[in-house]
Amino acid sequence: MIYLTELMLKYFQRKQQEVQSEKVYDSQCPFCSMQCKMQLIEQRVVSRKAYKTIGKDNPTTAGRLCIKGMNAHQHALHNQRIKQPLLKIDGEFVPVSWNEALQFIQKRFAEIQKTDGKDALSVYGSASLTNEEAYLLGKFARVALETKHIDYNGRLCMAAAATAANQTFGIDRGFTNTIHEIPHTRCIILAGTNIAECQPTIMPYFEKAKKNGAYIIAIDPRPTDTTKMSDFHLQNKPGTDVAIASALLKIIIDEQLVDESFVESRVNGFEDVKNSLHRLDLKEVEAMSGVSISDMRHVATTFAQEESGMIFTARGVEQQTDGTAAVRSFLNILLATGKIGKVNSGYGAITGQGNGQGAREHGQKADQLPGYRSIENKQDRKYVADVWGVKEKSLPGKGVPAYEMFEKVKQGEITGMFIMCSNPVVSNPNAHFVGQALKKLRLLVVVDMFLSETAKLADLVLPSSSYLEDQGTMTNIEGRVTLREACRPLPGEVKHDWQIICEIAEQIGKGKYFPFKNSEEIFNELRLSSRGGKADYYGITYDKIRRESGVLWPSPELNDKGTERLFTDGFAHEDGKAKMSVEVIHSTVPKDEPCSDYPLILTTGRVMSQYLTGEQTRKSPALAARDFESFMEIHPETGKEYSLDEGMLVNIESRHGNITVRTKWSKQMRKDTIFVPFHWTESQNVNKLVSGKMDPDCSMPGFKVIAVRVSPAYTNDMSENYVR
């Protein structure tokens, strides 16, 4: 007996010792713009490894994590990671060495550029890349490939907010204030943002604001966890934000709640806006938006009368064919009420992807050079060409926005594409067309961690590292430049995105412009390239980021502390004033309007457990278990009208395509609107329904307003087969 107990004791002691052998890896979440700091804990339990992730303190998220962050390692450590270059031979992927892959690229790039011209090669990047990689990809396109065609997935994400901020303020840093001012503001408008599901770790700032007495207004056609948190919900019809924001401004002016001295000293264009608002009929706005005049009056007067206030916009307002106008209409309100450039008052474009901010500043956009410089400005070109050691004249001009690259493929102007860190066949509008364009290419090279739907169409797939392996900086939601350290070795023959860029450059004879041995060396060149530009990172170094747990840009000097609040003294336009805009108020950009054939409005977006095209989160068992398939939210009465039942498979058709998903009743939904998330593929890929029409100012697709019709996916005699 005693002998047995001793044995058991020894066994348990040993087991405990084994459990206690653990490794801790410091990292940063690969998903949204909060860029939560985290620790991955690897425990050896008896003979297998177990993992868990915990939050780590930092100035933006204070150690909080959401479910996606907690489970991010599940995709990074997944056995479907690609670990070798894959070359398609006779329709099948065959593993090849890096040497073979690089030689293939060299040969095919040269063939294409020789026969079809330099600009026939195109580059498609991503805001999930680090600043170093996004910067290097822009340089790679212009210096190594000498093509004008580079753009990135941020075009589908934050282009409207960025353009609106540039036009209005003269600079685009998503948040004009630090996140720490949110709890102290008096009134908050959340327009088309579902922070509760999309940036969950920001919620405590808003909850604290509420505790401190702030009044929170949400503008969203759907009930969400964010609208539930708000004090007042304007449940507008999708696509009516320009009208609503302009109506709010009209009421503010009519009620004489304008901050006259602020407008007088700091704003251009107010009088014109005021005059043009005479033409806006509140009754018409009420009829088109479904929001009552009294509700609009309540919101307008509450916001204007409080001593401080903030407006936040996200994709609900921005992913529209008039997204730039919509954001500008909200910025007009901030300017008229003087709630910007002050403590506890300001604007926030809720950034989307992990590096949604930084990746739009350093030259990955069709018209842009590092530091938010313009590729069409001679001085800007000269400055960057000097840093790069090339002639100004050798830099190509401006290319076209992301989706238009696929149109150029169809027209035969682009015949080769290099895609890094994006899955456009799922994320772009008019997905069927994009798929056809990709198939038409003479050459498609995709750099990814997985064989995504886009990668499957490639001639060559190159395996890239994950957030656990790759070091680099990411600029978070506040504009804070953070450093994500690498914490695990590269698996198999995987390489970092920046390494892949450097090695291709070397192979094609441009190695001298890409001599980088690590991400810090790239960052140091980025600092120089951005110096003196609007997004000036010169004063930011890896050491400074480590010392200060991140630095808010602009930071022009090594000894500065970064910039917490923008516009306290002036705006970034030459005369120091902000610009209000008349054009936006009567914006006439067409929408995908419903009609008798397509009577319902579909709006698309996200759920908490899944991320973008789902390529990563669907690999995570914990996340996939929460939402394993797509769905359509619909009001039960509307559903019944179209012979649907809860849980039933439904066919959704638009003028561009059709998909099949499962019905989910939502009693708080508008009766004219349905919602489908975009994290699923193939027959559930909602982008098959979206048109390729764009916002004329920023080329943002209209992801949030799609005219559709719905019908049961099964005929009556089959309907008993569906699973409730």
Ligand X SMILES: Nc1nc2c(c(=O)[nH]1)N[C@H]1C(S)=C(S)[C@@H](COP(=O)(O)OP(=O)(O)OC[C@H]3O[C@@H](n4cnc5c(=O)[nH]c(N)nc54)[C@H](O)[C@@H]3O)O[C@H]1N2
Those residues whose C-beta lies under 8 Å from the C-beta of residue 40, and which sit 6 or more positions away, are 24, 25, 27, 51, 52, 53, 73, 468, 487
Site for ligand X contains 222 (CB under 6 A): yes
Q: Which member of 174, 290, 316, 712 binds ligand X (CB under 6 A)?
A: 316
Q: Which does 193 bind (CB under 5 to 8 A by kind): ligand SF4, ligand X, Mo ion, none?
A: ligand X
Span near ligand X by CB under 6 A; candidates 116-124, 376-384, 501-509, 611-619: 611-619
Q: Which member of 161, 578, 612, 661 binds ligand X (CB under 6 A)?
A: 612
- Interface with ligand X in residues 251-310 (CB under 6 A): none
For the record, the structure tokens of 680 come out as: 């699923």
Site for ligand X contains 246 (CB under 6 A): no
Q: Is 512 exposed, middle or buried (0-12, 13-18, 19+ CB in 10 A)?
A: exposed
Q: Which does 338 bind (CB under 5 to 8 A by kind): ligand SF4, ligand X, Mo ion, none?
A: none
Q: What is the DSSP letter of 367?
A: T
CB 44 within 8 A of CB 22: yes
Residue closer to ligand X, measured from CB, 192 or 554: 192
Residue closer to ligand SF4, measured from CB, 499 or 610: 610
Q: Which does 86 bind (CB under 5 to 8 A by kind): ligand SF4, Mo ion, ligand X, none?
A: none
3-class state of residue 42 by DSSP: strand
Span near Mo ion by CB under 5 A; candidates 48-56, 76-84, 333-341, 352-360: 352-360
Tell how strand 416-420 and strand 443-448 pair up: parallel
- Interface with ligand X in residues 76-135 (CB under 6 A): 126, 128
Residue closer to ligand X, measured from CB, 178 or 194: 194
Residue 308-347 contact track with Mo ion, rule CB under 5 A, x = bound: ----------------------------------------
Q: Which does 29 bind (CB under 5 to 8 A by kind): ligand X, ligand SF4, Mo ion, none?
A: ligand SF4
Residue closer to ligand X, measured from CB, 147 or 153: 153
For the record, the structure tokens of 103 come out as: 């030689």
Residue closer to ligand SF4, measured from CB, 285 or 350: 350
Nearest residue to 482 via CA among 185, 131, 54: 131
Site for Mo ion contains 157 (CB under 5 A): yes
d(CA 281, CA 262): 27
Q: How far is the CB of 253 from Mo ion (least distance, A)?
A: 34
Q: Which member of 704, 707, 710, 712 binds ligand X (CB under 6 A)?
A: 704
- Write out the residues near ligand SF4 by the rule CB under 6 A: 29, 31-32, 34-36, 65-66, 68-69, 199-201
Site for ligand X contains 368 (CB under 6 A): no
Q: How far is the CB of 608 from ligand X (least distance, A)?
A: 5
Residue closer to ligand X, measured from CB, 93 or 262: 93
Strand partners, 418: 123, 445
Which residue intervals of 255-401 are DSSP H helices? 260-266, 270-277, 282-289, 293-305, 315-318, 323-336, 378-388
Omega before residue 554 within 30° of 0, cis: yes
Residue closer to ligand X, measured from CB, 101 or 267: 101
In the chain, DSSP finds a helix count (H) and a strand count (E) of: 25, 28
Q: How far is the CB of 253 from ligand X (least distance, A)?
A: 22
CB 325 within 8 A of CB 589: yes
Residue closer to ligand SF4, measured from CB, 246 or 427: 427
Span near ligand X by CB under 6 A; candidates 168-176, 418-426, 574-582, 691-699: 418-426
Distance set, CA 474 to CA 30, 103, 271, 646 (Å): 10, 32, 40, 42
Site for ligand X contains 241 (CB under 6 A): yes
Nearest residue to 258 via CA among 242, 240, 245, 271: 271
Q: Which does 241 bind (CB under 5 to 8 A by kind): ligand X, Mo ion, ligand SF4, none?
A: ligand X
CB 461 within 8 A of CB 85: yes
d(CA 230, CA 299): 12
Span near ligand X by CB under 6 A; candidates 15-23, 276-284, 314-322, 388-396: 314-322
Q: In the chain, what's the furthest Cα-to-Cα distance?
A: 95
Site for ligand X contains 608 (CB under 6 A): yes
Nearest residue to 676 via CA among 238, 128, 232: 238
Q: Which member of 192, 341, 348, 401 binds ligand X (CB under 6 A)?
A: 192
Q: Which does 477 bind (CB under 5 to 8 A by kind): ligand SF4, Mo ion, ligand X, none?
A: none
Residue closer to ligand SF4, measured from CB, 320 or 471: 471
Nearest residue to 659 via CA among 677, 641, 638, 637: 677
Those residues whose C-beta lies under 8 Å from the C-beta of residue 459, and which sit 6 or more positions away, are 87, 88, 108, 443, 444, 445
d(CA 549, CA 536): 18
- Interface with ligand X in residues 23-62 (CB under 6 A): 32
Those residues whose C-beta lies under 8 Å from the C-beta of residue 15, and which sit 6 or more positions away, are 46
Residue closer to ligand SF4, measured from CB, 61 or 236: 61
3-state per-residue secondary structure call for 632-685: EEECHHHHHHCCCCCCCEEEEEECCCEEEEEEEECCCCCCCEEEEECCCCHHHC
- Interface with ligand X in residues 682-701 (CB under 6 A): 686-687, 690
Q: How far is the CB of 261 from ligand X (least distance, A)?
A: 31
**Closest-approach residue to ligand SF4 (CB):** 69
For the record, the structure tokens of 270 come out as: 């107010």
Site for ligand X contains 589 (CB under 6 A): no
d(CA 471, CA 490): 11
Q: How far is the CB of 76 from ligand SF4 (least distance, A)?
A: 13
Q: How far is the CB of 429 from ligand X (least distance, A)?
A: 7
Q: Which member of 290, 348, 352, 463 binds Mo ion (CB under 5 A)?
A: 352
Q: Which residue has the tokens 């910067």?
A: 135
Interacting residues toward Mo ion by CB under 5 A: 157, 352
Interacting residues toward ligand X by CB under 6 A: 32, 126, 128, 153, 156-157, 191-194, 197-199, 219-222, 224, 238-239, 241, 314-317, 319, 352-353, 420-424, 427, 447-450, 452, 464, 497, 603-606, 608, 610-613, 615-616, 678, 686-687, 690, 703-704
